[in-house]
């Protein structure tokens, strides 16, 4: 049996013809892809130019002195991504910009936490604690893509969650969350994934367990999401005991109501992966209420007051990353309404 190793060119077209074909393909590729990118860039520039100028208010101080809403402004233009502040009395009125840009922001009366991205060849992320004048006072540990952040009501505890992923999406086990709790002004309490997780009285030690979305109750107690083996739980944790205990299955990204009696969560139910419904879980009797928002919400909600929750929703029809902050009653009734247009990551400060 003889092996024919020598190249058989099938009497195909000559080298010159093939080079010409390759040249044509390359040209088409460059013109096609380049044209597409140019068109997107052009559309972005003209969208920015055509965007109505954002009404801006006056000085920060007076707004900060009254009940207000802190958020990331997603109005197109030079201020895109900047933190903005509006009084709760006029949420859709003129906004005042703070001198920081954040992907996620949360705030109390005299503190703010800001997760930001420095885009470059390798995009890096940082988490900073800011004082009342929006000046950095502390760098917080953060690895990976920022996802959630919360301050405790008195501003003494900060939690940050990031998605940790390698460059390659081809390796299982490379993707997980990291949720770190830090005390303002000092000690890193730690990655709460290292805390002991109890589900139905039993300790869960699986490698795939993840925690995210912390909401603080007091100086020690907090609520968060735990996940393992494709299930998620609303968990109650203790910083001092370094434990978290599952309260309720299928609940993510909890947010504690101002009166401390209920937790707003997003839940999967029988929805397909990547879609969630908002629900409120009553800590007193374990009752759960689905909210009237039926669109999928992937956000850690914020309580406007004891009766209303806020959340960000990407605007479906927009070409670029624009979103609005919506409000919906927490009792399952009413209808969702836009509270602040062109906004994301709301934090209510009273």
The binding site for another protein (CB under 8 A) comprises 1-10, 18, 21-22, 25-26, 29-30, 32-33, 36-37, 40-41, 44, 119-123, 141, 143-145, 147, 163-177, 205-210, 212, 227, 230, 232, 252, 272-274, 276, 296, 298, 314, 320-321
- Shortest distance in whole angstroms from residue 35 CB to another protein: 9
**CB of 201 or CB of 274, closer to another protein:** 274
**CB of 143 or CB of 156, closer to another protein:** 143
**CB of 96 or CB of 101, closer to another protein:** 101
Residue located via tokens 């420095």: 118
CA distance 49 to 51: 6
CA distance 340 to 99: 20
Evaluated on CA atoms 209, 193, 123, 75, the torsion sign reads: positive
- Shortest distance in whole angstroms from residue 158 CB to another protein: 17
- Shortest distance in whole angstroms from residue 207 CB to another protein: 4
**CB of 2 or CB of 335, closer to another protein:** 2
**CB of 25 or CB of 137, closer to another protein:** 25
For the chain, state the CA radius of gyration: 24
- Shortest distance in whole angstroms from residue 94 CB to another protein: 25
**CB of 124 or CB of 261, closer to another protein:** 124
113's tokens: 């936490």
24's tokens: 């044509």
- Shortest distance in whole angstroms from residue 80 CB to another protein: 9
**CB of 103 or CB of 257, closer to another protein:** 103
196's tokens: 């002991």
Is residue 121 within 8 A of residue 139, CB to CB? The reply is no
Alpha helices (H) along 51-73:
60-64
**CB of 67 or CB of 175, closer to another protein:** 175
- Shortest distance in whole angstroms from residue 307 CB to another protein: 27
CA distance 61 to 45: 33
Beta carbons within 8 Å of 62's beta carbon, 6+ residues apart: none
Residue located via tokens 């992923």: 165
CA distance 179 to 2: 64
- Shortest distance in whole angstroms from residue 176 CB to another protein: 7
CA distance 338 to 314: 12
CA angle 324–327–329, rounded 5-degree value? 160
* 294, 298, 299, 303: CA torsion to nearest 10: 20
- Shortest distance in whole angstroms from residue 79 CB to another protein: 14
SS3 27: helix
């Amino acid at each position: 049996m003889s092996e024919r190793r020598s190249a058989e060119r099938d009497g195909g077209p000559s080298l010159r013809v093939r080079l010409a074909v390759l040249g044509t393909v390359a040209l088409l590729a460059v013109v096609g892809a380049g044209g597409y990118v140019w068109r997107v860039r052009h559309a972005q520039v003209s969208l920015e130019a055509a965007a109505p100028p954002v009404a801006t208010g006056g000085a920060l101080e007076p707004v900060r002195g009254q009940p207000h809403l802190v958020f990331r402004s997603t109005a197109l233009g030079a201020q895109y991504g900047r933190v903005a502040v509006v009084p709760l009395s006029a949420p859709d009125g003129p906004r005042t910009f703070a001198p920081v840009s954040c992907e996620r922001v949360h705030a109390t009366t005299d503190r703010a936490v800001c997760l930001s991205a420095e885009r470059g060849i390798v995009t890096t992320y940082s988490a900073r604690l800011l004082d009342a004048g929006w000046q950095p006072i502390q760098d917080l540990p953060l690895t990976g893509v920022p996802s959630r952040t919360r301050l405790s009501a008195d501003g003494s505890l900060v939690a940050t969650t990031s998605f940790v992923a390698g460059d390659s999406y081809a390796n299982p086990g490379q993707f997980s969350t990291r949720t770190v709790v830090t005390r303002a002004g000092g000690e890193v309490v730690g990655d709460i994934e290292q805390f002991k997780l109890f589900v139905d009285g039993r300790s869960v030690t699986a490698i795939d367990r993840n925690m995210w979305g912390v909401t603080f109750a007091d100086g020690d107690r907090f609520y968060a999401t735990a996940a393992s083996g494709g299930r998620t739980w609303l968990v109650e944790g203790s910083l001092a005991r370094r434990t978290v205990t599952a309260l309720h299955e299928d609940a993510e990204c909890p947010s504690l109501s101002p009166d401390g009696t209920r937790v707003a969560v997003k839940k999967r139910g029988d929805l397909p992966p990547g879609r969630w419904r908002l629900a409120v879980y009553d800590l007193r009797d374990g009752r759960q209420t689905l909210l009237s928002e039926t669109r999928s919400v992937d956000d850690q909600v914020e309580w406007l007051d004891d009766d209303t929750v806020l959340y960000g929703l990407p605007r479906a029809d927009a070409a670029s990353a624009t979103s609005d902050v919506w409000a919906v009653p927490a009792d399952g009734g009413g209808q969702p309404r836009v509270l602040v247009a062109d906004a994301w990551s709301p934090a209510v400060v009273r």
